Each structure stands twice: as C-alpha cells, then as structure tokens.
Structure 1
Amino acid sequence: MPTAPEIRPIPAEATYALRHQVLWPDKPLAYVKVENDAAGQHFGIFRHDELVAVISLFVDGAEARFRKFATRPDCQGQGLGSALLQHVFAEARRQAAQVIWCDARQDSAGFYARFGMQPEGEIFYKGPIAYVRMAFVLD
C-alpha cells in the first residue's frame, strides 16, 4: 500500500537542490540561497521518503512571506505543491500572521489565484523573468 505524501520541517540547506533544479538551474547554487534563510521555517513534502517539493516561510509579526517554492517537475500537477502551500497558510495563521504574500512568477500567478491570492502592484523582473507580488488576507 503506498504511503501518503508527508509534509515535515526541514533545514534550509535541504531546500537548496530543489530550489536550484526548479527555479534557477542556469545560475550557481549560491543564487538560490536567501540572505535570511536562517530566520525562516522550511518545509518539504516527501513522497516515498523522497523530497519532491520545498517552500520557505518567513513570519514577521502580522505579516508572513513565503519564498523559493519549488516542486520537482515530474511531480507537478499532482496536488503536492497545493498541499504544501495550504500547510504554509495554516502555519502562518497559527503564528498569528494576518496576511501572507509572495513574489510570484507571472506565469504562476493563476496557481496562486486559486488559493485566493490577489496581485498587488506592478509587474517587475528578476533577470528575464516577470514577477508580480501576490497577497492573501488570512482569516
């Protein structure tokens, strides 16, 4: 009987390989590290004890931000990333955050919109990639 995917906390260093593979494969590994990774909470979803998606959560008072959300390409479209995002929303609520936001790649904005996130502000670029800030008021 297959085991259900499991979400669990992981160290920041455990996120780097997936961040690199999925988000910035053409950049050096150091590019995917966040300056305040040590202050974040990092979660991974495991399928058959293999890490297949990662996300990093940073809570600062009433505001929460998630960053470096990456799902292995062969595992996308299977609900794993959705489960991980819902977990982070719940964790932000548990820590009394009132809003959660991210800088979303513009081509992923539709995914975040399915969770009630709304675009805020103008499109901006990181290198050649278009981004938009997406936010959601937590209840």
Structure 2
Amino acid sequence: MSDPLTIQPIAPEATYALRHKVLWPDKPLAYVMIAEDAAGHHFGAFQNGELVAVISLFVTGAEARFRKIAARPDCQRQGIGSQLLRHVFEEAQRLGATRIWCDARQDSAAFYARFGMQPEGEIFYKGPVAYVRMACAL
C-alpha cells in the first residue's frame, strides 16, 4: 500500500531532473532551468519518500504564473498533477495573487480547463511543441 501523497516546498535544483526527463528529454539539462528560479516557489509531490512530481510558482504582485509542472511517467494520470495545481492555486492566493496563468502545452489545455483556466491569445510554438496561454481569476 502506498503512503499518502505529500506536497512540500523544495529547492529549485530539486525540480531539474523531473523537468528534464518529462518535458524536454532531448534537450540539455540547462534548457529546463529558468533564470527566475531563485525567485520562485517550488513544490514537490512525494509518495513513499520519492519525488514524483514538481511545479514552480512565480508571483509578481497580484499575478501568479506557474511553470514546469512535471510528473514521473509512471505517476501520471493518477491525480497527482491535480493535487499539485490545487496546492499552487492556494499558495498563489495566500501570497496575494488574484490571477494565475501558464503557458500550457496545447495537448494539456483540457487539463487546465478543468480548473477554470481559459485560453488567451494565439497558439505559439517552443520548438515543435504547440502552446497556448491559459489563465483564470483566483
């Protein structure tokens, strides 16, 4: 039987391996590092003592942005990403944000829509991957 999932703050560096493995495995590790990482709030989801998913939150005044949500492939589609996203929405509100947004991979837009996020603007590309900005009020 699995231990319950716990979500806790982690160092930015602790997010890199999962970001790399899940989001951009064909790029160098440096590709998943964000210049603003030191100013962000980073969270890890842990199950049985192992880091299974990560997300990073950046709050500027009333606006929050989350980036680089990634779950280990064997832990996807189990509700872990949903728990992380709910946690980040609550944390953004606690930090004073009234709006939250992300640049979502287009194939994940339906996931974010379940949290009330709506597309804004045109589809754009990072390399071959289609993205759309998604946002909502908190």
TM > 0.5: yes
Shift of 1:86: 0.2
Instruction: State the match for 1:99 in structure 2.
Output: 99
- Residue in structure 1 matched with residue 54 of structure 2 by the alignment: 54
Residue by residue over 1:20-49, the C-alpha shift from the partner in whole angstroms, topping out at 9 and shown as x without a partner, is: 000000000000000110000000000001
How high is the sequence identity, in percent, across the aligned residues?
A: 75
Q: Residue 82 of structure 2 aligns to a residue in which SS?
A: helix
TM-aligned CA deviation for residue 14 of structure 1 = 0.1
TM-score (norm 2): 0.98
Please show how residues 15-94 of structure 1 align to structure 2 within 5 Å.
Answer: 15-94=15-94
Unaligned segments of structure 2, at least 5 residues: none
Q: Secondary structure of 2:103's match?
A: strand
Q: What is the number of equivalent residue pairs in this alignment?
A: 138
Over the residues paired in the alignment, what is the CA RMSD in angstroms?
Answer: 0.7
Instruction: Look up the match of 2:125.
Output: 125
Check conservation: 2:2, 2:47, Cα contact below 8 A.
Answer: no
| Cα distance, 1:2 vs structure 2 | 3.4
Instruction: Output the TM-score relative to the length of structure 1.
Output: 0.98
Give 1:96 deviation, angstroms: 1.1
Counterpart residue number, 1:111: 111
- Which residue of 1 is the match for residue 3 of structure 2? 3
Paired AA for residue 130 in structure 1: A
Q: Report the Cα offset of residue 119 of structure 1.
A: 0.2
Structure 1 stretches lacking a partner, 5+ long: none
Residues 56-105 of structure 1 show CA distances to partners (whole Å, capped at 9, x for unaligned) of 00000000000011011110110111000000000001111010000000
- Aligned to 1:64, the other structure's residue is in SS state strand
